Amino acid sequence: MKQIFFGAQIFDGKSFIADHALITDGPVIVGLVPVADRPRAGIQHDLGGGLLSPGLIDVQINGGGGVLLNETPTVKGISTILEAHRRFGTTHALPTLITDAPALLSETLAAGKMALGFVPGYLGLHIEGPFIDPKRAGAHPPQLIRPLTKADADALIKGKAGVLFVTLAPNSVPPTLIAYLTAAGIVVSLGHSDARDDETFAAIEAGASAITHLYNAMSPLNQRSAGMVGAALADPRVIAGLIADGHHVSPTAIRVALAAKGPDGIALVSDAMPPAAGGPAHFELQGRTASRMGTKLTLPDGTLAGSTLTMLDAVRYLVREIGIDVALALRMATLTPARMLRLDHHYGRLAPGYSSSVVHLGDDLTVKGVWIDGLAYPSTSPR
């Protein structure tokens, strides 16, 4: 069934288009035409203002709506997390497993295989650890961090279904294993590491193409040792994830990242935990209580424990607090993460042949409507 969306500005993934209508047919966009030339047959959606954007894509989403993937590594857990964030405009995401026991990793990979094609908006998994650097553990349990072996790499490759995005430390994993993973279609991201810049560049040369939550849990940039931050900012081959919540990265550091890499090199991520998207203020993270104070989420010792963000919160933060143009902020939440996942041939754009996964936002950047592959979902946002 054809659907025609009109009456709002259209953000096509790169820029705004005025006085046009979007035409979809089932799960695919089939046209973008002037409003006066739109078909009159099919379901007509007069949006009455606001803007129509590709659905937001979250590459790093640990939990939401009271659920943590580590605690509920099941199809139901994956579905609940995505459903919670869907109400806030995130149509597609990678549920993220942080460092845990090997058995839990295997269980999560198995659940991911079952969820693919069954859970709306599920693209695959982000495995963040345990193959990281204990010196930059952050909220990850240091006792469970371990080196990546060839057997581990084989298990990841065997468990891959859809996108598999793996965060590892370039000073802990040799370039040969990074090349082995990327040759199998795994997206390797670098993070949680005290690596030098040369170690980081070697990993990028081996095929790593992303950086996990830029600035956080990584060796910093200084004038004599550029560290992971310097390598990430300097190398155009990598797209860096960024947590824009006012706590993980300062406004000035955000501006530096954008000056260095632009909106095509920075992908917004939520790093969301169970309190995000309507969840409770407290939750248990591997035997430790994490608590929400305002918009900040910490462990008892003050360590940041992910965020309370939704992707739309991050877009609004960039627009309202950093002064970024709406089109650039939306690009970092749509097309750039799609490129990060090598899915920009199908997601992140409003153009013929792309997924009919769209979000209608009001002028105040609140959610008015969400469609995934042409199907409407409840989407009223309380914020």
Catalytic residues: 271
CA dihedral 346, 349, 355, 358 (to 10 degrees): 150
Q: Per-residue b/e over 2-29, b at no fewer than 16 CB within 10 Å?
A: ebbbbbbbbbbbbebeeebbbbbeeeeb
- Measured distance CA(214)–CA(225) in Å, rounded: 17
Helix (H) or strand (E) holding 251: helix 251-261
Q: Which residues contact 22 (CB under 8 A, 6 or more apart)?
A: 4, 5, 6, 10, 29, 31, 32, 52, 350, 358
User: Measuring CA to CA, which residue among 215, 210, 109 is closest to residue 158?
Assistant: 109
Structure tokens at 23: 């035409």
Q: What residues does 10 pair with on adjacent strands?
A: 17, 52
Half-sphere exposure of 222 (CA within 13 A, CB side): 6
Reduced 3-state DSSP string for 210-225: EECCCCCCECCCCCCC
Reduced 3-state DSSP string for 41-96: CCEEEECCCCEEEECEEEEEECEECCEECCCCCCHHHHHHHHHHHHCCCEEEEEEE
User: Measuring CA to CA, which residue among 248, 234, 260, 212 is closest to residue 98?
Assistant: 212
User: Residues 332, 266: contact at Cβ < 8 Å?
Assistant: yes
Q: Which residues contact 246 (CB under 8 A, 6 or more apart)?
A: 295, 317, 321
Structure tokens at 5: 């969306």
Helix (H) or strand (E) holding 164: strand 163-168
Give the dihedral sign, CA 137/138/143/145.
Answer: negative
- Measured distance CA(202)–CA(193) in Å, rounded: 14
User: Residues 20, 32: contact at Cβ < 8 Å?
Assistant: yes
